[in-house]
Amino acid sequence: MAYKLITANRNYSSWSLRPWILMKALDIPFEDEMVLFEAENYANFRKFAPNGQVPCLKDDDRTVWDSIAIMEYLAERYEGVWPSDEPARAWARCAAAEMHGGFAPLRNICPMNIGVRAELLQVEPSLQRNVERIGELFAQGLDDFGGPWLAGQNFSAVDAFYAPVAYRIRTFDLDVGPKARAWVDHIIAHPAMLDWERQALAERHREISHEEEIAAVATVTADHRA
């Protein structure tokens, strides 16, 4: 079995981070290939992914695209992708699906940019609802399943799905409450997350549209990138 995971820039690519951190955390071996974002990626990304997006998993001659499909594909082959406890597993799948299909204001207003710290020009009501929901969701998982991960003692796919949110919370200093912030600090300190962040800070490539997104909604107060 020879997996190749194709991702994009460490600094910006929230969708790429999800399967990458899961595979690293669970010690699932893979070849790591990064393709940089450019002004227009669709034609280039279509060379390896039928939807023209990252992430994309190659398993020999098989192509698996979309982060949630990749995780389910891996779950059929490896233990630990989802919690073994049935109630925790059901909750984790619901929470991951909510992230996969929702939180549009958070995505649009607070883009992932690991290397910077920023102060929002304003907090839209829709964003505030997203922030409050994340705080509620994280606290529920931690309370119901005992932590320190969202669905219990072990890192699982639901943690991977919210890993980019942890960086967004830190970048924009979003108030998700003390319980949720404790999980943010916990996952950011995970060795694989530290590795991803190290690579993100070392990147010298700047993708203009991603930089413009954050400049339109916030004042950048610090930039820790190379």
CA–CA distances in Å: residue 55 to residues 33, 34, 137, 141, 175: 10, 10, 25, 27, 29
Q: Can you give the pLDDT at residue 1?
A: 59
Rounded Cα distance, 105 and 131, in Å: 10
Q: Can you give the pLDDT at residue 2?
A: 85
Q: Can you give the pLDDT at residue 111?
A: 97
Measured CA angle at 93 (ends 89, 98), to 5 deg: 150
Closest CA to 188 of 224, 164, 217: 164
| pLDDT values of the chain reduced to their tens digit, one per residue, 226 residues | 589 999 999 999 999 999 999 999 999 999 999 999 987 888 889 999 999 999 999 999 999 999 999 999 999 999 999 999 999 999 999 999 999 999 999 999 999 999 999 999 999 999 999 999 999 999 999 999 999 999 999 999 999 999 999 999 999 999 999 999 999 999 999 999 999 999 999 999 999 999 999 999 999 999 999 9
Q: Can you give the pLDDT at residue 40?
A: 81
Rounded Cα distance, 168 and 17, in Å: 13
Rounded Cα distance, 183 and 201, in Å: 22
Q: Can you give the pLDDT at residue 38?
A: 81
